Amino acid sequence: MDTGSQRQTILIVDDEPANIRILVELLKDSYDLRTATNGEKAIAIASSDDQPDLILLDIMMPGINGYETCRRLKADERTSHIPVFFITSRNNEQDELEGLRIGAVDYITKPFSPAIIRARVRTHAKLARFQGILEQQSYTDGLTGCANRRRLEEYLATAWVSACREGASLACIMIDLDHFKAFNDFYGHLAGDDCLRQVAHALQGQMQRKTDIVARYGGEEFCCLLPGTDLEGASLMAHKLHEAVLALQIPHEESSAGLIVSISLGVAARQAQTGIEPDSLVKAADMALYAAKTSGRNRICL
Ligand code: GH3
Ligand code: MG
Ligand code: MG
Ligand code: MG
């Protein structure tokens, strides 16, 4: 998803290569372009890691037509956010209504005015960029830049469902800074904020798989979710996280770890099963964290 100022990517889908060439000529100076000559290929490109920001879609094509392509894109949560813009020779009101009804953002008929196409594409590309920025902000913790609580909860729900399906294990590590109130009292709240940023960055630097996430759970608490990881793997990861934070060597006069900022960690893993609440995993990690706190802090409990 595009959220920056880099060039956006547009996917042009038409079974007629001459039509594709016209649109490529029209748009190539302002956008990166990809092309597909049928609906199946368009869906494959749209679902790939390198997703387009906007799709220009023909309706009459062999195989699945443009309507069906659009329906499938809108039904899949990986692709439903990508705006679809029909460019077609079907020029009656019913066809246009049908296109808009199934979720297209726009509908324009051939032959078209090049200037109008460019202007409308620019509008939809801009809206897609804003939507991406808003979505990213709604999932990001403003102070640390890592995932926020909302993102964590949504991620846990989907990761749990996939883990249930695959019979896989899911691990959770709860992390809490030690004596952080005293840190704030001694160094001030701004230094506290900076410390949280450094810790978040160190934790994120240890994530190994694309599917691992670190979220800010609350004030000075972080939570890692590690899909496909068992208790042994999660315990190994917890040791790495602990070491990474100690290695920051952030001075803390009032700490229990030799005058530097330390963390306590609670680790839990579950074989995901339908009928068990995913929250139970986080609760178990939280209980382990409580044990780490009450047994002296600056340590890991399972
Ligand atoms: P413990 O070792 O038992 O965890 O002690 P603690 O002092 O870390 O725990 P406590 O829950 O008493 O205090 C948490 C502190 O975290 C209190 C609060 O001021 C601080 N805190 C929470 N959110 C933020 C934040 O966004 N910025 C800063 N600077 N401090 C925060
Ligand atoms: Mg066609
Ligand atoms: Mg706390
Ligand atoms: Mg604390």
Rounded CA-CA distance 100/83 in Å is: 11
* pLDDT digits 0-9 by tens, 70-122: 999 999 989 999 999 999 999 999 999 999 999 999 999 999 999 999 999 99
Ligand 1: lining residues by beta carbon, under 6 Å: 143, 176-182, 184, 189, 192-193, 196, 219-220, 293, 297
- What does the pLDDT look like over 177-198, one tens digit per residue? 999 999 999 999 999 999 999 9
Q: Output the residue whose Cα is nearest ligand 1's atom 23.
A: 219
Which ligand does the CA of 221 lie closest to? Answer: 3
pLDDT at 291 over 70: yes
Question: pLDDT-derived band of residue 301, with 50, 70 and 90 as boundaries?
Answer: very high
Contact 302, 286 (CB under 8 A): no
Q: How many CA atoms lie within 13 A of 298 on its CB side?
A: 12
**Ligand that comes closest to the CA of residue 18:** 2
Place of tokens 């032959």: 111
With a cut of 80, say whether residue 246 has pLDDT above it: yes
Mean pLDDT of all residues in 57-76 = 97
Average pLDDT over all residues of the chain: 95
Q: Express each pLDDT in 205-217 by its tens digit.
A: 999 899 999 999 9
Nearest atom in ligand 1 to the alpha carbon of residue 195 is: 29
Mutate to test the pocket of ligand 1, among 185, 189, 220 (most ligand atoms within 8 A of CB): 220
Structure tokens at 77: 């949560």
As a whole number of angstroms, the distance between CA 154 and CA 199 comes to 23
Q: How far from chain centre, in Å, is Cα 220?
A: 22
Residue 4 binned pLDDT confidence (cut-offs 50, 70, 90): low
Neighbours of 193 (CB within 10 A): 13
Q: Could you report the per-residue pLDDT of 12-48, keeping only the tens digit for each?
A: 999 999 999 999 999 999 999 999 999 999 999 999 9
* Ligand 1 atom 15: residue of nearest CA: 181
